Amino acid sequence: MNILEAAIQGVLLGGLYGLFAAGLSLIFGVMRIVNLGYGAFAVLSAYLALALTRSTSMSPLLALLIIVPVMAAFGFVLQRWVLQRTLDPSPLPSILVTFGLAVIVENALLLTQSADQERLTLGRIDTQAIQLGEIRIGVYPLAVFVLALVLLGVLSLVIQKTGFGRSVRAISDDPGTVELMGIKPKRIYAWSGAIAFGLVAVAGVASGIQSSFNPSSGSLLLIFAFEAVIIGGIGSLWGTLVGAMVLGVAQTVGAAFAPSQQLLIGHIVFLLFLLFLPRGLTGKATRA
Amino acid sequence: MTIRVEGLSAAYGQLTALREVSLRVEPGEILAIVGANGAGKSTLLKTIAGQLAATTGSVHIDDRDVTRLAASERARLGILLVPEGRRLFPSLTVRENLQVGTSTGRAGVWTIDSVCDLFPLVEERLDRRAGLMSGGEQQATAIARALVGNPSVLMLDEISLGLAPTIVVDLYSKLGRITEQGTSILLVEQDVRRAATVADQIHCLLEGSTALAGRDLDLADITAAYFGVSTR
């Protein structure tokens, strides 16, 4: 496999990581809430899709039409009535609560499902590829990449151009003062939670089609998402996508040299960023 | 609308910062709150705005009791505070700051266009990030951001803080244009003389309590109350 092909695969893989990181970028990067349950809820979404496809033999894509609203509603409720209570100048309460939620979800899946590897399938599309000269590009990874571009583009427009987005950015600057303008921050946080969980559902199902998963897969997905957000620069949605692509390329190109050390190389690149470019590629100022 | 405050107290934890303060401001009137540092001036405004819970007393706007309402709900009823230190949203542009200000959902004469007429300084900077402006520009923007919410009661907390005297005079010269719409203004001011020239009523606080309040007060009496010394 040549390096160019590996790099293209890495960029496409970055689309999948970007999909994961988008919701996290919104709530961690923009609203400064640390949610360690993120990966577990992505895996939960994949298991929901698995249950739906097995019981009704519908396509995972069709299942998304049910899972995304369900997870978004769950995200709204969780943010409004659970995580809202953990908001504090110290990030510790929300870290502990979301870590606890991740443990609960993972173990509930282990109890009710099994520890076996599972996989969602789209049938023939799973393995189809486009041949461009020497290079083969998977149809499915390409589709995920395009989907990530579209979803991040829409999310970015919402944040930049709409009243809701302005409120989100204003809250990230100064939540106390936002209330003086007649805005209820709790409601904005809750809707952001809904958007983030809708995105995590898409990412979880997309990932479940691309590679196999088990109840414990969430933690690795969470790490990739955080790495993408930090490489890209906290607070920037497009930065997150670029960060995700950097991580993806690091992994696939790294795998071309040392096939068994793919993940390690990704983490090393992330650590290099932390060391030399701690504010990430977009370099937005981070709040102390 | 008339704002009526009766026996209002507030505390930071165990520390009572405001004791049994009462005041009443009619539409279009300006009430200046004066007092030394730590006298409870900002605390009074924060408690009226709902940022701080009242421990005793009540706040009424016309006949509506708003004492238990959240700050966001009071803002929607037209009680708007320009907080101490301006508190603009630094990563948003000036225009976006004003757009957030319209979230009160209140209709009225004040729109982004009309506040730009009032503050030409703001109009020149509409597309600038609020965090990158001078103090005077930020203060004008902070007042404009509250104005576009069409307040019935506008509270200004130390708008002269850290600004050059000419800029302060300019800001104060705009207040008449605001009150002529029937908006009442409560302002906190360190400078007793300046407060006395713009205000219809003066309310002097000393260690959280009312030391002196009224109309057409003598400057010497206000100064005496300010420092807590008897004039007799």
Q: At what angle do helices A38-56 and A3-24 cross, to 10 degrees?
A: 100
Residue A215 CA to residue A222 CA, distance in Å, equals 13
Q: What is the pLDDT of residue B54?
A: 95
What domains are there in chain B, each with its CATH number? 3-227 (3.40.50.300)
Chain A contacts in chain B segment 3-32 (CB below 8 A):
none
What is the b/e burial string over A164-190, where b = at least 16 CB atoms within 10 angstroms of the residue's CB?
ebbbbbbbbbbbebbbbbbbbbbebbb
Q: How confident is the model at residue A126 (pLDDT cuts 50, 70, 90)?
A: confident
DSSP assignment string, B145-211: HHHTT--SEEEEE-TTTT--HHHHHHHHHTHHHHHTTT-EEEEE-S-HHHHHHH-SEEEEEETTEEE
Partner residue opposite B100 with nearest CB, options A172, A181, A184 = A181
B132 touches A: beta carbon within 8 Å: no
Q: What is the pLDDT of residue A284?
A: 60
Q: What are phi and psi of A7, to 5 degrees?
A: -65, -40
Angle, helix A185-210 to helix A163-173, in steps of 10 degrees: 100
pLDDT at A287 over 70: no
Both tokens assigned to B78:
């037209």
List helix spans (H) across chain A. Answer: 3-24, 38-56, 60-81, 92-112, 139-161, 163-173, 175-179, 185-210, 218-232, 237-257, 262-276
- Using the Cβ of B72 and the Cβ atoms of chain A, whether some distance falls under 8 Å is answered with yes
Cβ contacts of A200 within 8 Å, gap of 6 or more: A20, A23, A38, A41, A42, A45, A71, A75
- Quick one: pLDDT at residue A286? 47
Tens digits of residue pLDDT in A79-101: 999 988 888 778 888 899 999 99
Q: Are strands B64-65 and B54-61 parallel, antiparallel or unpaired?
A: antiparallel
Joined tokens for residue B11 = 């505390």
Residues of B with CB below 8 A from A180's CB?
49, 51, 71-72, 75, 80-81, 83, 146
List the single residue in A with minimal CA-CA distance to B75: A182
Please state the rounded mean pLDDT for residues A139-167: 94
Name chain A contacts of B50, Cβ cutoff 8 Å: 179
* Distance between CA atoms of residues B8 and B47, nearest Å: 8
Q: How far is B218 from chain A (nearest CA, A)?
A: 35
ipTM of predicted complex: 0.90
Q: State how far residue A94 is from chain B, nearest Cα, in angstroms.
A: 24
% of chain A exceeding 90 in pLDDT? 62
Strand segments (E) across chain B: 3-12, 15-25, 30-35, 54-61, 64-65, 79-82, 153-157, 184-188, 201-206, 209-215
CA distances from B184 to B22, B23, B153, B180 (A): 16, 13, 5, 9
Query: For the ranges A18-27, A188-197, B59-68, which has the lowest average pLDDT?
Result: A18-27
CA neighbor of A217 nearest in space, from A230, A207, A229: A207
Q: Do A180 and B81 touch (CB under 8 A)?
A: yes
Cα–Cα distance, A185 to B75 (Å, whole number): 13
One-letter identity of residue A145 = F
pTM of the entire structure?
0.88
Domains and CATH numbers, chain A: 2-276 (1.10.3470)
Residue among A172, A176, A181 minimizing CB distance to B101? A181
Candidates A166, A176, A182; nearest CB to B76:
A182
Residues of chain B short of pLDDT 50, as ranges, are 232
How distant is the Cα of A90 from the closest Cα of chain B, in angstroms? 19
Residues 6+ apart with CB under 8 A from A114: none
Predicted local confidence at residue A91, as pLDDT = 82
Query: For the sheet containing B30-35, what is the strand order?
Result: B79-82, B153-157, B184-188, B30-35, B201-206, B209-215
Q: How far is CA B160 from CA A4, A246, A284, B170, B188, in A?
A: 62, 49, 32, 10, 9
pLDDT value of residue A90: 82
Average the pLDDT over A62-84 and give the result. Answer: 94
Q: What backbone phi and psi angles, to 5 degrees, belong to B65? A: -80, 115
The tokens of B117 are what?
């007429």
CA distances in angstroms from B30 to A84, B3, B48, B110, B208, listed in the order given? 39, 12, 16, 19, 21
Which amino acid makes up residue A180?
Answer: L
Which residue in A277, A253, A273 sits closest to A265, CA to CA? A253
Q: Shortest Cα distance from B162 to chain A (angstroms)?
A: 20
End-to-end CA distance of chain A: 44
Task: Indicate the angle between helix axes B94-101 and B135-147, nearest 10 degrees.
Answer: 30
Q: Residue holding tokens 């408690």?
A: B47
